[in-house]
Structure 1
């Protein structure tokens, strides 16, 4: 084969791949969270899940935080090891949003070697986000300034975005080795950034005319032991997710097309079709798994043309569907 012929075939293949990634129509991607928590889960992740992903045509994976259990020390060596493990699941195509076990819970008293949560967040950002992902230009990949874990991209006319929300009341509780006021001030700033990022995501969705929006985060935003919404003066004993929920429902109501919220952190493995309420029936919620839960990834199929079932779910290796309600 001549060089010119090989070059022509390469360019045609690249053009076909680009066209396929932007053409509207059903497609599937992978979601995973809350593992590995044990040596058994570590084995499953590397020996069963990773080969299954490699053998599949799935274009990318979203990892929704908690890459270790809450008692393991958050050493730089362990965080680096888990970063390498996660990114190896689908090289160059893993979108990671942090979990509480990955940084904000690193100062808990039951951990043998404790670290400041603010220090671990800084390390996490350097490990995972120092270099922007190298993606095709047609994916319209973007990151939020100062909050690079908040990412956005487009695939087959569906807009995806990650939003940095974690459990432990979004980092507002158990601030044990950091300055409490500083930690809460930074959390307030992250909440404001998340609000802006969510608004910009739906503005972009309207601007480019996508068929669906998918939002991924770590925290189960339906779980809070507090009722009052967090404010500038009420900063800890408050519902850290109430503002996000209201904002997401409002934006989904305006958007009208299918919207899916993905998260991990809790049980059960389920699908919440009523999360949007009467005002936003187009907003669905998928609960991936919780600690030591379903040890598998999930294949999510997006088909916006099917308004009654725009999203479909099954586990990667065991073909287990989520419970039909949460």
Structure 2
């Protein structure tokens, strides 16, 4: 904008000053996009090497100024003991994170603890121990903490929190069969927890609609086998969850992201199909790095993107240029 603009408009008053012109241009320009950053990890540490490397990786993650780190379960391998000492070590490790730390339980630290190599523990007792250590109050882990809304009742591992226009939701959904049992008769623990998981899922989508949020991110451990579900071959342990997730995603106007670990295949894709077999375009699956590959996924909420999210994978140790 200059005096030429004023003359062509037939204006007899003095030309706009550069300061006024800049202010006017700013007011007419589209709003600057807002962004929020977070980090996703899972299935680590499995070995002594990973235990030594994870603090270094968490430091590198914090240097990216993320709002929080989410660990989607399996903080040990499936053959080592589920003893109190290991649990306390992981609590100390997660609490040392400079960024707020949100942890979701995996099968290796509770449902698989009945294995003799894991110590022959009662899985339900181990889950209660996890609750007393990791979800004892309404705050995240980490040196800097964020407030979490916990599901009322005994399932304190179920929580949710806002980041910008997005609702993040944690769910206790462990591999490989959601603790249902391969036999015809499901375990009592599964029968008690599964309806609570589905209720928390539905209630969280309801909240997101009420608050007109742009996105929902679900954090859980199990790979629920989306291709099997799409083919009508869903595992019984995940049937209710996946059916509800498909229906809620179909009726949600925003973007949905499901973050899980379990199968150790780092990927970002769109595996969910609707009831007619069509790809659900507002649904994205992010699977974290997992042993023997270590790394983290950088998530960015970008209000200027039609898809709302973008993701970048960071192998660890960082690759040299």
Match of 2:216 in 1: 213
1:67-86 paired onto structure 2 within 5 Å: 67-86=75-94
Q: 1:257 aligns with which of 239, 254, 263?
A: 254
Tell me the alpha carbon deviations over residues 181-219 of structure 1, each in whole angstroms, 9 at most, x when there is no partner: 998122112110011100110111011111111001000
TM-score normalised over the length of structure 2: 0.78
Corresponding residue for residue 164 of structure 1: 172
Long gaps (5+) in structure 2: 1-31
Q: How far off its partner does 1:229 sit?
A: 9.0
Say which is worse superposed, 305-314 or 70-79, in terms of deviation. 305-314
In 2: Cα distance, 1:210 partner to 1:227 partner: 27
1:153 corresponds to 2:141:
no
Whether the 8 Å contact between 2:159 and 2:171 is mirrored in structure 1 is: yes
Whether 1:200 aligns to 2:203 is yes
Contact 1:212 1:304 in 2 (8 A): no
SS at match of 2:133: helix
Q: Secondary structure at the match of 2:169?
A: strand
C-alpha distance in structure 2 between counterparts of 1:119 and 1:138, whole Å: 27
Instruction: Choose 1 or 2 for highest CA Rg.
Output: 2
- For 1:244 and 1:313, the matched residues in 2 are separated by 27
Aligned counterpart, 2:110: 103
Aligned match of 1:301:
300
| Alignment-derived partner of residue 120 in structure 1 | 126
Between the aligned partners of 1:75 and 1:145, the Cα distance in structure 2 is 26
TM-score of the superposed pair, with normalisation by structure 1: 0.77
> Is residue 227–residue 238 contact of structure 1 (8 Å, CA) maintained in 2?
no
Give yes or no for the alignment of 1:39 onto 2:60: no
Distance 1:228 1:188 in 2: 25
Q: How far, CA to CA, are the matches of 2:81 and 2:310 in structure 1?
A: 37
CA contact (8 A) 1:224 1:239 kept: no
Q: Secondary structure at the match of 2:94?
A: helix
Instruction: Answer whether contact 1:299 1:316 (CA < 8 A) is retained.
Output: no
Q: CA deviation at 1:267?
A: 3.4
Shift of residue 84 of structure 1?
1.4
Question: 1: distance between equivalents of 2:96 and 2:212?
Answer: 33
Do 1:139 and 1:155's aligned partners in 2 also have CA atoms closer than 8 Å? no
Sort the Cα spacing of 1:223 and 1:110 in 2 relative to 1 into closer, same or farther, 3 A.
farther
